[in-house]
Amino acid sequence: MTSGTMINQNKVDWLKSKIRDIPDFPKKGIVFKDLTTLLNDHEAFNFVVEALTENARGLKPDYIAGIEARGFILAPAVAHKLGIGFIPIRKPGKLPHTVEKISYDLEYGSNTLEIHVDAAEKGKRVLIIDDLLATGGTAHAACQLVEKIGAKVAGMSFLVELDFLSGRNNLPKGVEIFSIIHY
Ligand code: AMP
């Protein structure tokens, strides 16, 4: 399912012009989308946060969850704009209280993610934000973590989606997926 907010194609092209391709990072064969050159531009960064926030409003989340590490750049900015709480989904061993955890495969390697068991009350709506949707392994794991603690996934939003990897096919059916930029 794709959600409503439409972004003007000229704006998308403008944002794309701010993203830098780094070939063979972090390993051979991966073309890494370096978003630091977009985030570094205050107009581009502001536009992205506004677009994610506008889309988030329609999903009526109670919390915004961000996935470590690059999800921590965008998700708290959106939570702040909406006046709601932020939930960190973190790499193993970082969260100090009782956690739920899940392991999954990445486009390059594997990873484990954790969430505090009491990060959201049962039934609350959690919108998950990350910088980039590739194979969908990370986003899927984040969905499962939110559900494991008894909350509901209100949707998932990304700055960039790599359409050629079909990551959204790996996400639960019926979850609203919004990406500003598609490759
Ligand atoms: P995936 O689990 O395959 O969807 O990978 C998504 C996560 O890995 C995101 O948190 C991204 O930060 C990172 N990632 C994967 N592939 C790339 C890429 N080509 N360029 C930049 N980041 C990537």
Distance, in Å, from the CA atom of 125 to the CA atom of 122, rounded to the nearest integer, reads 9
Q: Is 161 a catalytic residue?
A: no
Q: Is the C-beta atom of 107 inside 6 A of ligand 1?
A: yes
Sequential pLDDT tens for the chain (183 residues): 555 688 999 999 999 999 999 999 988 999 999 999 999 999 999 999 999 999 999 999 999 999 999 999 999 999 999 999 999 999 999 999 999 999 987 766 789 999 999 999 999 999 999 999 999 999 999 999 999 999 999 999 999 999 999 999 999 999 999 999 999
Spatial CB neighbours of 53, under 8 Å, sequence gap ≥ 6: 78, 81, 82
Q: Whose CA is nearest to atom 16 of ligand 1?
A: 134
Question: Looking at 100, 107, 114, 161, which residue is catalytic?
Answer: 107
In the chain, domain spans = 9-182
The Å distance, Cα 131 to ligand 1 centre, comes to 8
Nearest-atom index, ligand 1, CA of 136: 4
What are the residues facing 89 on neighbouring strands? 67
What is the atom index within ligand 1 of the atom nearest the CA of 141? Answer: 2
Tell me how far the alpha carbon of residue 81 lies from the centroid of ligand 1, in angstroms: 25
The one-letter amino acid at 86: F
Q: How many angstroms does the Cα of residue 132 sit away from the middle of ligand 1?
A: 5
Task: Check residue 54 and give its pLDDT.
Answer: 98
Which class is domain 9-182? alpha beta
pLDDT at 2: 54
Residues 6+ apart with CB under 8 A from 83: none
* Model pLDDT, residue 18: 98
Q: What DSSP string describes the chain?
A: -B-S----HHHHHHHHTT-EEEET-SSTT-EEEE-HHHHTSHHHHHHHHHHHHHHHHHH--SEEEEETTTHHHHHHHHHHHHT-EEEEEB-TT---S-EEEEEEE-SSSEEEEEEETTSS-TT-EEEEEEEEESSSHHHHHHHHHHHHTT-EEEEEEEEEE-GGGTGGGGSPTT--EEEEEE-
**Active site annotation includes 107:** yes
Predicted TM-score (pTM) of the model is: 0.96
- Of the residues 106, 128, 161, which should be mutated to test ligand 1's pocket, given the most ligand atoms within 8 Å of the CB? 106
Angle between helix 42-59 and helix 71-82 axes, rounded to 10 deg: 60
Q: What is the pLDDT of residue 1?
A: 53
